Amino acid sequence: MKERKRHRTLLALLIVVLVLVVLAVVLLETAFFHLNPIKVGYRSFDFGRYVVFSTESKLDADYKKVSRIMDENEASYGLQYLSKVQIIICKRQTDIDRFQPFASEADRKNAVAFAPWPNTIYVTPKLKGTYRTVSATLAHELSHLLLLQNFGLIKTYDLWRLHEWIPEGFATYLADWPSYFPATDLAKNMKLAGIDLASGDLLGGKKTSEVALPLRFMIYRNFVDFLFRNFGADVTGQFLRSVCRNPGDMQTIFQSAFGISFADCVRNFSLAIQAVSSEGQEKGKRTR
């Protein structure tokens, strides 16, 4: 009887071990692919501070310049990369379904690049079909990694959840992300979308899901540009680092850094973009 009971225990243990092994293999081929030490079908190109994984035998020249982009990001943010970065170039757009199963279906379908973990960027084939350059896209995603490495997943995702304009605005502005439309058209496009900044909110009280990404990113980018031009790089950079440490206290940190409430600054920004729009219209009339 004891022998039979021991065999059952060993069998149960073996089944548990097999289930855990299968689960580990599945995860390493899907959501945790970035941790997989054996990326089947991918070649690695190691550049010291970063490594690129690709199914192709050669890399685009831009992928060989990432170290320079990292240097520029460090100087702009006043932070340093703390661990090696890996860039995984997906062969097919549908690969992102496997690597990012928890992202929304729309994001996976339209994604150009993802930076979901502190050391990983996924680049999809969509990048070749857009007007964005590889360098600008990598600079943008590397900006996200810089915050993730310095402030951790929880605080950085809290920042995204509570104040999307901060990580996306700084990344879009400092990476020199290509503009979706001229700054002179910002006020007009905001009006068409029903966004009124009189409330002191960058999206006029709307949820992020209610405002198209191109318009959101242009609002964020121009607001960060407004901060840099009016308060300088040192003050704006210090605000960013402080709010990353305590995302839930953004309003107080903003007031302390800039000497003005966030709501009043947004209203001043509204006046500034309306002035830029008016100047653009006047120039347009003179050139006709």
CATH code, domain carrying 71 = 3.30.2010.30
As to burial, measured by CB atoms within 10 angstroms (0-12 exposed, 13-18 middle, 19+ buried), residue 104 is exposed
Question: What is the C-alpha separation between 71 and 50, in angstroms, rounded?
Answer: 12
Q: Last residue of a domain, which of 151, 180, 212?
A: 151
| 32 CB neighbour count, 10 Å cutoff | 13
pLDDT value of residue 285: 45
Helices (H), the chain: 2-28, 66-77, 95-99, 105-110, 134-162, 165-174, 186-192, 213-231, 233-245, 250-258, 262-286
Q: Do 199 and 224 fall within a single domain?
A: yes
Q: Are 168 and 213 in contact (CB under 8 A)?
A: no
**In this structure, are residues 201 and 266 in contact, taking their beta carbons and an 8 Å threshold?**
yes
Query: Do 71 and 180 belong to one domain?
Result: no
Same domain, 73 and 115: yes
Dump pLDDT digits (tens) for 266-278: 999 999 999 988 7
Asked whether residue 93 falls in the same domain as residue 169, the answer is no
Q: Are 138 and 223 members of one domain?
A: no
* Portion of the chain with pLDDT greater than 70, in percent: 86
Q: Express each pLDDT in 163-211 by its tens digit.
A: 999 999 999 999 888 888 999 999 999 999 999 999 999 999 999 999 9
Q: What mean pLDDT value characterizes the chain?
A: 89
Q: Is residue 5 part of a domain?
A: no
Same domain membership, residue 214 and residue 97 = no
Interval 65-91 mean pLDDT: 96
- Do 189 and 257 lie in one domain? The reply is yes
Residue where one domain finishes, among candidates 122, 151, 180: 151
* pLDDT tier, 50 (very low <50, low <70, confident <90, very high otherwise): very high
Q: Is the pLDDT of residue 18 over 70?
A: no
Among the candidates 151, 179, 203, a domain finishes at: 151
Residues 172 and 286 placed together within one structural domain of the fold: yes
User: Measuring CA to CA, which residue among 157, 117, 158, 123 is closest to residue 139?
Assistant: 123
**Pair (141, 195) in one structural domain:** no
Residues 118, 182 within the same domain: no
Q: Is residue 146 part of a domain?
A: yes
pTM of the model: 0.88
Pairing of strands 120-123, 113-117: antiparallel
For 122, list phi and psi in degrees, rounded to 5.
Answer: -100, 130
pLDDT tens-digit map of 138-153: 999 999 999 999 999 9
- Give the residue-averaged pLDDT of 116-135: 89
Quick one: 170 and 286 in the same domain?
yes
Residue 31 lies in a domain: no
Residue 11 in any domain: the answer is no
Please tell me whether residues 97 and 169 are part of one structural domain.
no
- The total number of structural domains in the chain stands at 2
The yes-or-no verdict on residue 155 having pLDDT over 90 is: yes
Assess if residue 14 is contained within a domain: no
Report yes or no on 147 lying in a domain: yes
Least confident of 97-106, 179-188, 226-235: 97-106
Range(s) of the domain holding residue 111: 37-151
> Residue 129 falls within a domain, yes or no?
yes
| Predicted pLDDT at 65 | 93
- Domain assignment present for 6: no
